[in-house]
Chains A and B, each alone.
Chain A
Amino acid sequence: MTIFWFLFKEGFKGLLRSKYSGAFSIIIIAVSIIMVGFGYVIARDTLFAVGNIRSQFDVDIFIVATAGPQDIEDFHQKLRSMNEIDQILYISPEMAAEKFKKEFGEDIFDILDYNPLPPSFTISLKSIYRNLMSVEAIASILQRDSIVDEVKYRKNFLIILEKYQRVILVVVLVVFAVLTIISIILTSNSIKMTIFARRDIISTLKLIGATNRFVKMPFVIEGTLEGGLGALLAGLIIYGVIYVQNNYLQSFFDYRLNVSLRYYIALFVLGLFLGWVGSRRAIRRFL
Chain B
Amino acid sequence: MSILVYLIPIALFLGGLGLAAFLWSLKSGQYDDLEGASWRMLDDGDDKPAD
Instruction: Answer whether A and B are interacting partners.
Output: no
Residues on B lying within 8 angstroms of A by beta carbon are none
Q: Which residues of A contact B (CB under 8 A)?
A: none
